[in-house]
Amino acid sequence: MSPGAAGGGTRAAAGMRAAVIHRYGGPEEFRAETVPEPVAGPGQVLIDVTLAGLNYADLHCRTGEYARYPLPAVLGADVVGRRRGDGRRVAALLRSGGGYAQVARAEAAHTVELPDGVDDEQALALLEQGATAYAALTLAGRLRPGETVAVTAAAGGVGHLAVQLARELGAGRVLALASTPAKREFVRALGADRTLDPGDPELADRLAAGSAPGGVDLFVDSVGGRVLRVGLDTLAPFGRLLSIGSRGGVEETFSVDELADRSAGLVGFWLQHVLADRVLFAGIAERLFRLAADGRLVARIDRTVPLSGVAGAHRALARRETMGKVLVDVHRED
């Protein structure tokens, strides 16, 4: 979102602090600056932000590979805070950025009120990445009880919730791929039956050994490239290879014959299609928050950085250093 881009109204906007980029490029482009507050248009709300979230897609937004917002721009796709007007505690997904700021403008339809049993950190870590994991497993992946599920980047923001949700949804076995011993230990503690190193040359054999006879029923991938190919090769008959993202490496291509040989499905997923349905989005958020309030779903907060630390947080995500969710305290600059 462009700082101060007006969505309506004539009153001069107040100032706020935000992490701003003036051109697309590396993490060094972020500057903590004072910019005009956004103005809400029809169907939109303003949120006094307490915490903003980082998502992997923010890295692509920063380099300009995704939607190119008008510059200067404030990135960031999820926030938690207080809604202006009624002061209710809410979290929101921002499809046009604007999260790394003290005030965010959100579509009312993409805003959910938070129950008392879920704190700001958990709510923020659950909304974008939890809704992605939940909808990917259920709506796109059509997970059935007893099935074997494999999850790539399993210690990541989406991945560590997908491991827990696969368990919650009745998966028979959960296989978690993560690149370091510490990450594998982390996902094992979350309930993964078996952990695997995505760089292991024997990965396909190890996946097969960890699966129920026949292979993996649902392979949830957010990495792409070689791992996606291994995923297809290890699918059980009627298995689904589900792609929710990629890291920009060389992409695999599959022939229809390869899919037919396994009665396999190749499925994509984009959270936008959940957000387009207000009732569906609200229902998924409610389910996630209920699981969190009951202690059955726990988001790990990797770190909370000040507004001036957004560049470092982007670097950490790119270097694969994080486990779980990275947050930005938009009221701190140290």
CA–CA distance, 330 with 334 (Å, rounded to integer): 11
Q: What is the DSSP letter of 109?
A: G
Three-class SS of residue 111? strand
- Determine the interface stretch with ligand NAP among 54-62, 212-220, 257-265, 285-293 (rule: CB under 6 A): 54-62
Q: Which is closer to ligand NAP, CB of 50 or CB of 179?
A: 179
Q: Which is closer to ligand NAP, CB of 157 or CB of 239?
A: 157
Site for ligand NAP in 134-153 (CB under 6 A): 153
222 near ligand NAP, judged by CB under 6 A: yes
Q: Which is closer to ligand NAP, CB of 93 or CB of 103?
A: 93
Name the pairing type of β-strands 44-53 and 103-107: antiparallel
159 near ligand NAP, judged by CB under 6 A: yes
What's the closest the beta carbon of residue 214 comes to ligand NAP, in angstroms?
26
Nearest residue to ligand NAP by CB is 156
Element (H, E) at 275: helix 272-275
Q: Which letter, b or e, does each residue of 22-58 get, where b requires 16 or more Cβ atoms within 10 Å of its Cβ? A: eeeeebebbebbebbbbbbeeebbbbbbbbbbbbbbb
Phi, psi (deg, nearest 5) at residue 190: -80, -10
234 near ligand NAP, judged by CB under 6 A: no
CA–CA distance, 300 with 314 (Å, rounded to integer): 18
Phi, psi (deg, nearest 5) at residue 56: -60, -35
245 near ligand NAP, judged by CB under 6 A: yes
Q: According to CB under 6 A, which one of 50, 96, 102, 132 is a site residue for ligand NAP?
A: 132
320 near ligand NAP, judged by CB under 6 A: yes
The sign of the dihedral angle between the CA atoms of 44, 275, 56, 191 is positive
The footprint of ligand NAP on this chain (CB under 6 A) covers a number of residues equal to 28
Q: According to CB under 6 A, which one of 49, 244, 316, 328 is a site residue for ligand NAP?
A: 244
Which positions touch ligand NAP (CB under 6 A)?
A: 55-57, 128-129, 132, 153, 155-159, 178-179, 183, 198, 222-223, 244-245, 247, 269-271, 317-318, 320, 322
